Structure 1
């Protein structure tokens, strides 16, 4: 069960960072498009990692049943 808790905690941390990057990308949209694109790219990479963690958490929960 500890592994599932660790995964969920890591997901919450990444989700907060993802939201920060999306907000940053939005804020830079009008002033600096390059920084906006960089922030959006980093957010997309985080979203990919969040999706992998979601799958892993689902697998761990099935194993604990």
Structure 2
């Protein structure tokens, strides 16, 4: 959280979780992700995973 935001995803944009960072904030985990804009970090409290998949530290199942 000490770095500035470089890009934003729009609702329904896809991302691929590459790895768990092991860093938790407010009950959700930070993940290293691959997005249409490149590789970066995303907080699990504001995205969901596809039905049938599970990732600890993610808000919900879509």
Higher strand share: 2
TM-score, normalising length from structure 2?
0.22
Kindly indicate which of the two structures has a greater share of residues assigned to helix: 1
Rg larger for: 1
TM-score (norm 1): 0.21
The structure, 1 or 2, with the larger RCO (C-alpha pairs under 8 Å, 6+ apart) is 1
